[in-house]
Structure 1
Amino acid sequence: MNALASLQQLFTRNLRQSGIFIAFAAIVGLFAILTDGVLLNPGNLTNIILQYSYILILAIGMVIVIIGGHIDLSVGSVVALTGAVSGVLVIRGGQPWWVGVLAAVAVGLAVGAWQGFWVAYVGIPAFIVTLAGMLLFRGMTLQVLDNISLSPFPDSYKTIAGGFLNGFLGGQGYDVFTLVVAAIGVGGYAFSAYRSRRARIAYQQAVESLPLFVLKLVLIGALVMAFAYQLSRSRGLPIVLVILGALILIYTVVTTRTVFGRHVYAIGGNLNAAQLSGVKVKRVNFWIFVNMGFLASIAGVVYSSRSNGAQPAAGNMFELDAIAAGFIGGAAVTGGVGTVVGAMVGGLVMAVMSNGMQLMGVDQSIQQMIKGLVLLLAVAFDVYNKRRASTAPDDRTIKAKTPKAPKAAPADGEPVGATR
């Protein structure tokens, strides 16, 4: 009975964690068929990475905000503001590209500290603070740019989002360097997954069988190498993909292997318990928003580089795409649940859907409706899982034994234990 319960628990957990991967594979397969294979063409795959990289960068920070039980509505405006600051310095001021990048990052950190102060130390809900920030920073963007667009950036700045690493190791019709980098990434992932599995076994936690574990690694490795091969046939390894990959690796370690990451999950899962456990809630909440400001500045630099200019309307509605990526990727609406990898897959789901519908010529209004339905279904799935988990019987429940009737009290003068 215990084995059956363990299998059921393992299946439920795997369904929650792996369901988004299955859905993503199904969506890719569907649009590959509907677009007659154009979706998976080398050039189109490269364009998907270039066009949606800044949304994925925002999604990394947003999922941490959501795990902590908050929301950030200002990231689109922060993207615009940081891109505007960089544009004024590099385009109008003639400064080197790295000066613009550093200035944008400094502004993003200042914005994050500003919002983190009001949320963490003053106690204003993040929804209100970031809603005010959305208006405030959009207005500051208009002031910085004087209500006009600035362009173009120099080639050195445009390389951030439009450059490629290729040709280092040669190759006929494909770039060997791209394949080598992908192979190293697959090897690192396999080693990390193996260590994680051994740790779970050591703590007597349920894990999938060894053949299933190996099959999962083989499938993931094959998909990554196939994707890398398609990129190598186009223009090679995009620089922005290297930036994104480094951020994914760093923040996966931060959320799973550091004290800060564990505290974020604790705060989002049960605020009162976290406070009683000695977690410095105010400090953690402050740094959650500082981190979001930092990643929004990186996204602002990437977006301005990609669009080759700084526009007052840049970043419009980006916050909704980042929030949708987090929820579709498995983050819980109440906080305490979510992963960086899940947010990336959620963002890719939105990216593939948008790109596929564009290739099919679907009207923009229909695209928005479909995205909204997908987001609604993802949150509904999370709510359904929570209800099922709350109503499921606990495996540790012990059947209650029928209590024995208490012995009658001895009569006056009768010795204790005497039989009547």
Structure 2
Amino acid sequence: MTFTKKDVRNFLSSYKIIALVIVIAIIWTFFGFMTYDADLGGSQFLTARNFSNLLRQMAITGMLASAMVFVIVAGEIDLSVGSLLGFLGGVAAILDVIYHWPLFGTIAVVILLGIAMGLLVGWLTAYQGIPSFIVTLGGMLVFRGAVLGATGGITVAPVSEGMKVIGQGYIPGTMGNLIAAALFVLLVVMAFRTRAGRQKHALPVASMPTEIAKLVAIGVVILGFVLTLNSYQGVPVPVLILLVILGVFTVIGNQTVFGRRIYAVGSNMEATRLSGVNVNLVKLMVFGLMGLMCAFAGLTTTARLAAGTPSAGFGGELDAIASCFIGGTSMRGGIGSVVGALVGAVIMASLDNGMSMLGVDTFWQQIVKGIILVLAVWMDIVSSGNQRA
């Protein structure tokens, strides 16, 4: 059988997530083979402990990518998230270590500060007409300078035991099972609500057997995910936080008026404006969500390192943006999903983890990740059928 460019384009357009899961399987198989050691009892990559560490590493990028999807879908970009993460993580460390604030107070202040910074970026972009590229490029410099000034250029440590739990703790097996079951039920409800909505408006839907098979496959993945993590120490707290974010943001994107407006703004901003939608407010709120995720990521980073460091979050914006593009978010706006972005984050984390285990030099790791990013954007162009002649 011969596959044409049109066949490849249709497959990438219709089954992006499946294609990405296949990529993950290939990556894991490769690193599993390359790290096999009979003396140590098998592959060192394909172990519950390593998967736990991999997902913990991915969680921070995933938090940023989950909101970055909405920013890019709305036709904007945010280059300041890595620096804002570092600044907010530094603030958390200062309040916790130097001023001995209670954990709840520290979390509340960091979250409010993150939302405020995100809204400021959104206000400058949406209401003052400054391109988001310029605003966030300036923000990247401002926030990086702010964390250096706040910490004095030194590491602030050690954080309290309560703070450490956010980045280093685990959920007991029983609770992890209950959360996994709740997540699966949520996905089933959303799937059938979406199906009912499409049928109501006479839109095409998959056959019921196909829908059920898809949900069963998702259930098997979730079950394997939880059982694997429970065989080590349980579901890491950062991964649990990320799963909650996945559920909430998926509902926002697929089931709310606000989510539909985000996609409408990115698809055709002028038509959306003329239809009566407050485009500026939508963009403002999207950047506010981005600031919130920077707060979560900053708290998790400080907790995971047990310290606030001036270099925290360095390059985080690139990993988040790359995860979105790898996960199928279109650089032209209007297309993308939180699930896809998190799958992209898993790919990025798997590459980092696997190459580190193989002792690959850092510069080669950066080269490989850069190539993967370019290929992801090329796939977006191919799948949309907008190739240059």
TM-score, scaled relative to structure 2: 0.91
Q: What's 1:410 paired with?
A: none
Q: What's 1:278 paired with?
A: 276
Q: What's 2:94 paired with?
A: 88
Q: What's 1:417 paired with?
A: none
Q: Distance in 2 between matches of 1:210 and 1:9?
A: 26
Q: What's 2:39 paired with?
A: none
Q: What's 2:117 paired with?
A: 111
**Matched ranges for 1:282-297 at <5 A:** 282-297=280-295
**Matched ranges for 1:67-82 at <5 A:** 67-82=73-88
Identity among equivalent pairs (%): 36
Q: Distance in 1 between matches of 2:21 and 2:268?
A: 28
Q: What's 1:53 paired with?
A: 59
Q: Distance in 2 between matches of 1:28 and 1:199?
A: 37
Q: What's 1:128 paired with?
A: 134
Q: What's 1:407 paired with?
A: none
Q: What's 2:107 paired with?
A: 101
Q: Distance in 1 between matches of 2:145 and 2:293?
A: 20
**Matched ranges for 1:374-385 at <5 A:** 374-385=372-383
**Matched ranges for 1:11-410 at <5 A:** 13-36=13-36, 37-166=43-172, 175-387=173-385
Q: Distance in 2 between matches of 1:221 and 1:316?
A: 36
**Contact kept in structure 2, 1:178 and 1:231, CA below 8 Å:** no
Q: Distance in 1 between matches of 2:33 and 2:198?
A: 39
**Contact kept in structure 2, 1:164 and 1:237, CA below 8 Å:** yes
Q: What's 1:399 paired with?
A: none
Corresponding residue SS for 2:156: coil
Amino acid at match of 2:123: F
Q: Distance in 1 between matches of 2:17 and 2:170?
A: 33
**Contact kept in structure 2, 1:160 and 1:239, CA below 8 Å:** yes
Relative to structure 1, the CA distance from residue 76 to residue 219 in structure 2 (aligned partners, 3 Å threshold; closer, same or farther) is same
Relative to structure 1, the CA distance from residue 348 to residue 204 in structure 2 (aligned partners, 3 Å threshold; closer, same or farther) is same
Q: Deviations for 1:144-174, whole angstroms, at most 9, x for unmatched residues? A: 11222100001011011111121xxxxxxxx
Q: Distance in 1 between matches of 2:308 and 2:319?
A: 20
Corresponding residue SS for 1:338: coil
> Displacement of 1:299 after TM fit?
0.5
Q: Deviations for 1:277-306, whole angstroms, at most 9, x for unmatched residues? A: 111111111111111111101100000000
Q: Distance in 2 between matches of 1:123 and 1:100?
A: 34
> Displacement of 1:8 after TM fit?
11
Q: Distance in 2 between matches of 1:251 and 1:190?
A: 16
Unmatched runs of 5 consecutive residues or more in structure 2: 1-6, 37-42
Q: Distance in 1 between matches of 2:101 and 2:59?
A: 25
> Displacement of 1:214 after TM fit?
2.8
> Displacement of 1:46 after TM fit?
1.0
Relative to structure 1, the CA distance from residue 179 to residue 75 in structure 2 (aligned partners, 3 Å threshold; closer, same or farther) is same
Q: Distance in 1 between matches of 2:25 and 2:187?
A: 19
Amino acid at match of 1:376: V
**Contact kept in structure 2, 1:49 and 1:241, CA below 8 Å:** yes
Q: Distance in 1 between matches of 2:115 and 2:223?
A: 36
Amino acid at match of 2:382: Y
TM-score, scaled relative to structure 1: 0.85
Larger Rg: 1
Relative to structure 1, the CA distance from residue 76 to residue 270 in structure 2 (aligned partners, 3 Å threshold; closer, same or farther) is same
Q: Distance in 1 between matches of 2:240 and 2:164?
A: 15
**Contact kept in structure 2, 1:68 and 1:285, CA below 8 Å:** yes
> Displacement of 1:240 after TM fit?
1.7
Q: Distance in 1 between matches of 2:15 and 2:305?
A: 39
> Displacement of 1:388 after TM fit?
5.4
Amino acid at match of 2:133: F
Deviates more, 1:266-275 or 1:26-35: 26-35
Relative to structure 1, the CA distance from residue 233 to residue 298 in structure 2 (aligned partners, 3 Å threshold; closer, same or farther) is same
Q: Distance in 2 between matches of 1:274 and 1:121?
A: 17
Amino acid at match of 1:237: V
Q: Distance in 2 between matches of 1:140 and 1:202?
A: 52
**Contact kept in structure 2, 1:90 and 1:99, CA below 8 Å:** no
> Displacement of 1:324 after TM fit?
0.4
Q: Distance in 2 between matches of 1:229 and 1:18?
A: 22
Amino acid at match of 2:226: A
Amino acid at match of 1:350: M
**Contact kept in structure 2, 1:10 and 1:208, CA below 8 Å:** no
**Contact kept in structure 1, 2:74 and 2:333, CA below 8 Å:** yes
Relative to structure 1, the CA distance from residue 165 to residue 17 in structure 2 (aligned partners, 3 Å threshold; closer, same or farther) is closer
Corresponding residue SS for 1:122: coil
Deviates more, 1:94-103 or 1:65-74: 94-103
RMSD after superposition: 2.2
Corresponding residue SS for 1:152: coil
